[in-house]
A and B are shown apart, each in its own frame.
Chain A
Amino acid sequence: MLKIQIIAGIISLSFLVIIFEAIRRRKFMEKYALLWIFSGLIIFIFSLFPNLLFKIGSILGLHHLTVLLTISFIFLLSIVFYLSISISGLSEKNKELTQEIGILKLKLNKLENKSKGGQEKTN
């Protein structure tokens, strides 16, 4: 076994363990973790079978380091894209909450004023 295989294997395994641990401690929602787990697994597979990289490289006509870079780039890109979409959704929900709170506060104020007025009358 190559030295690099062992090192890459250890790195990807610890990566997977960290993700697993983060999910277990509820610091990481599963739906967001899936992409990371998937990329961890891919790295692990490649560290076990580095020849796969060479094969993909020869299919695409790329040097194997370039293949590595391309694959990691695609993964990072999809994760960042996914995060951007999640953030857009969050801002939208955040906006709706803020609007709703504003409207509710105004309604509450109106109610309080009304009931105050009513009390004064009965007194």
Chain B
Amino acid sequence: MKTDKILIILPAYNEEESIGRIIDDIKKQLPSIDILVVNDGSLDSTSKVAKDKGVFVIDLLYNLGIGAAMQTGYKFAKEEDYDIAIQCDADGQHPAYQIKNLLNPLLENRADIVIGSRFLRKLGYRSSIPRQIGIILFSNLLSFITKTKVTDVTCGFRALNRRAINSFSIYYPCDYPEVEALLLAHQEGLKITEVPVRIYGRKLGNSSIGFLSSFYYTIKVFLAVFIDLFETIPYKKEKL
């Protein structure tokens, strides 16, 4: 199984302070893995820091948003023929030594998408109350729709196999993509599994979801999920 080509995708927007440390961390833990930083139109030196570390860097001309940045990574993974892609926040919330845990279900062919869940076991993760409510709400909604137990739908720490990479490279939701992406994956017939992970609280930078946008987030994701239930599934459209 060591021959699998694995890519870690780190979408980064103004993360010059943390990106270097994360890259070092991943390299130390998993030296054989390729790292791709998708610089989503950062205004600081994120791109330079990453390039100096000798990893792949895709510079997007302007800020496309997290979903489109992620999708860029998947498109690259597909074109370069990777077996597994791992998505990871570039703010250091997702410790590199946990990546191996994510890989196991894929290597054993038990799933197409593996989500790192902060809640599957009590592993010391605390977040704000409104956010926890949102996570529980959407997790239950998605568990109900997909008939699979999902506890942490908003977590951006995931591993995908070839099938999932292919699906996401063709269509990936634009903003606040995590929940909707899972639903679309389910409609596409991909199998989703969770493994417990421990996650650090944010030390640097701001979360992509601020306090005021929580409301917008909730409404937008609800609408997206609702519409997707009636969807003419986007993957089905022919694309070369």
Q: Mark A84-106, 1 if CB is under 8 A from B, else 0.
A: 00000000000100111111011
Do A98 and B56 form a contact, CB below 8 Å, given A103-B76, A106-B76?
no
Count A-B pairs with CB separation below 8 Å: 34
Q: Mark B17-48, 1 if CB is under 8 A from A, else 0.
A: 00000000000000000000010000000000
Q: Mark A31-63, 1 if CB is under 8 A from B, else 0.
A: 000000000000000000000000000000000
Bound Cα distance A103, B36 (Å): 11
Of all chain A residues, the one with the shortest Cβ separation from B72 is: A99
Q: Among the listed A98, A100, A105, A110, which residue makes an inter-chain contact with B62, where contact means beta carbons less than 8 Å apart?
A: A98
Task: For chain A, give the interface size range.
Answer: 10 to 19
Please indicate the chain B residues that have their CB under 8 angstroms from the CB of A106 in the complex. 56-58, 76
Contact A102 B59 (CB under 8 A): yes
Of all chain A residues, the one with the shortest Cβ separation from B60 is: A102
Bound Cα distance A55, B188 (Å): 54
**Chain A contact surface mostly:** helix
Contact A103 B75 (CB under 8 A): yes
Bound Cα distance A101, B75 (Å): 12
> Any chain A CB within 8 A of the CB of B229?
no
Task: For chain B, give the interface size range.
Answer: 10 to 19
Bound Cα distance A119, B188 (Å): 47
Bound Cα distance A78, B208 (Å): 35
> Any chain A CB within 8 A of the CB of B133?
no
Contact A99 B64 (CB under 8 A): yes
Bound Cα distance A99, B68 (Å): 8
Bound Cα distance A103, B56 (Å): 10
Bound Cα distance A100, B78 (Å): 13
The 7 closest A-B pairs by CB, nearest first: A102-B58, A99-B72, A102-B60, A106-B58, A95-B68, A98-B61, A103-B76
Which chain A residues have a beta carbon within 8 Å of chain B's beta carbons? 95, 98-103, 105-106, 110
